[in-house]
Amino acid sequence: MDAHHHAEAVRKHVWVYVAVFLALLVLTALTVTARSMNFGLALAVSVALLIATVKGSLVAGYFMHLVGEKRLVYIVLAITAIFLLALLVLPVLNLHDGLVGTGTGPWSP
């Protein structure tokens, strides 16, 4: 948000913050409830990460004012996202190395 943002516009944003707060609480309750449903691992991971992503987007979009932020911030975050994705995809690739779940990999005690 611009430094010279008018007080009146901020006043209008206050109800958005309250709405986001309530949504975050509901989503937290939802993710805890989803756990008691005893989904299979794949579905449980998908549901939990989906809810977390929605919650994270709400925090970043509204509390951190990413909605309507300057282009340069988006560029920085896009580059970061690419490297983060690489970090997260790397360990998933080892699912096919034949060592998964065997406890025989180099990570074993």
Partner 1 sequence: MEIPYTTEARPDTGLYNGKFGIWLFLASEVMLFGGLFSAYVFLRNGASDWHAWHEAAELNISLATFNTAVLIASSVTMVMSWASLKMNQFGRYRMYLALTVLCGLIFLVVKYFEYSAKFHHQHYPSTNTFLAIYFTMTGLHGIHVLAGMVVNTYFLGPGAKMWRTEPLRLTNRLEISGLYWHFVDLVWIFLFPVLYLL
Contact between 2 and partner 1 by CB under 8 A: the answer reads: yes
Alpha-carbon distances, residue 15 vs 6, 29, 101 (angstroms): 16, 21, 48
Contact between 30 and partner 1 by CB under 8 A: the answer reads: no
Three-state DSSP state, 94: helix
Instruction: Work out which of 15, 38, 82, 91 binds partner 1, going by CB under 8 A.
Output: 91
Contact between 70 and partner 1 by CB under 8 A: the answer reads: yes
Contact between 51 and partner 1 by CB under 8 A: the answer reads: yes
User: Residue 24 CB, nearest distance to partner 1 (Å)?
Assistant: 5
User: Residue 92 CB, nearest distance to partner 1 (Å)?
Assistant: 7
Which positions ≥6 away from 24 have C-beta within 8 Å?
A: 55, 58, 59
Which positions ≥6 away from 70 have C-beta within 8 Å?
A: none
Which positions ≥6 away from 62 have C-beta within 8 Å?
A: 16, 17, 20
Where are the strands (E) in the chain, listed by range?
none
For binding to partner 1 (CB under 8 A), which residues are involved?
Answer: 1-3, 5, 7, 10-11, 13-14, 17-18, 20-21, 24-25, 28, 31-32, 35, 41, 44-45, 48-49, 51-52, 55-56, 59-60, 63-64, 70-73, 76-77, 79-80, 83-84, 87-88, 90-92, 94-95, 99-105, 107-109
